């Protein structure tokens, strides 16, 4: 008798749960151990900070209108429904794991918004100001982010690479 459980979805579900749990644990550690806006220097290009993001990704629309946020949240909701459908019907483990990471990250950030009214961000990457003579050659500071954001970005990138590889292979087979 064949088992009806989709093993690809099980693997993706495992990744979803891992991302969600690790994201919430790390955010809890930040909330319980750092004051708001407190900075802990980890190395010359990385800080741990306690930042609250009321906007969307990377602080965009922090001062946005209600209608802009409503449109974005509606779009995100529709995208999540689509991803969940793709997740449940996936037949290969790679897209399932990628989508699991994306959904886990999205749920982690949604949980923050429901519980705290904002997303907890704490990873702060930057390149210090490099100068040559009196000219600034390089100075770079990425907006603070979290484990959920990382899972979403990695999941989307890997899913795109997987799709490109599969589309390239199917295109060459048709010729």
Cα of first residue to Cα of last residue in the chain, in angstroms, is: 40
- Give the pLDDT confidence score for residue 14 in this predicted structure: 95
Write down the H helix ranges in the chain.
7-33, 66-89, 93-116, 147-174
For residue range 26-71, list pLDDT tens digits in order: 999 999 999 999 999 999 899 999 999 987 665 555 555 666 667 7
For residue range 81-114, list pLDDT tens digits in order: 888 888 778 888 999 999 999 999 999 998 998 8
Distance (Å, rounded) from C-alpha 51 to C-alpha 61? 16
Distance (Å, rounded) from C-alpha 119 to C-alpha 104? 14
pLDDT exceeds cutoff 80 at 76: no
149 catalytic per annotation: yes
Residue showing tokens 């904002």 = 118
Q: Which one of the listed residues 23, 112, 124, 149 is annotated catalytic?
A: 149
Q: Which one of the listed residues 23, 112, 121, 124 is annotated catalytic?
A: 121
- Give the pLDDT confidence score for residue 47 in this predicted structure: 96
- Give the pLDDT confidence score for residue 64 in this predicted structure: 57
pLDDT exceeds cutoff 60 at 2: no
121 catalytic per annotation: yes
- Give the pLDDT confidence score for residue 60 in this predicted structure: 55
């Amino acid at each position: 008798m064949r088992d009806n459980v989709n093993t690809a979805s099980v693997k993706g579900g495992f990744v979803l749960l891992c991302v969600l749990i690790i994201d919430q644990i790390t955010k809890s550690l930040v909330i319980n151990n750092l004051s708001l806006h407190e900075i802990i220097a980890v190395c010359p290009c990385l800080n741990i900070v306690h930042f609250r993001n009321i906007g969307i990704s990377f602080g965009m629309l922090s001062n946005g209108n209600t209608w802009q946020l409503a449109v974005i949240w509606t779009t995100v909701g529709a995208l999540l429904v689509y991803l969940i459908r793709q997740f449940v019907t996936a037949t290969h483990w790679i897209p399932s794991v990628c989508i699991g990471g994306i959904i886990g990250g999205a749920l982690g950030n949604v949980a923050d918004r429901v519980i705290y009214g904002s997303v907890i961000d704490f990873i702060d990457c930057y390149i210090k100001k490099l100068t040559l003579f009196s000219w600034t050659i390089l100075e770079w500071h990425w907006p603070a982010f979290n484990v959920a954001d990382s899972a979403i970005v990695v999941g989307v990138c890997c899913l795109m690479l997987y799709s490109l590889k599969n589309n390239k292979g199917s295109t060459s087979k048709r010729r």
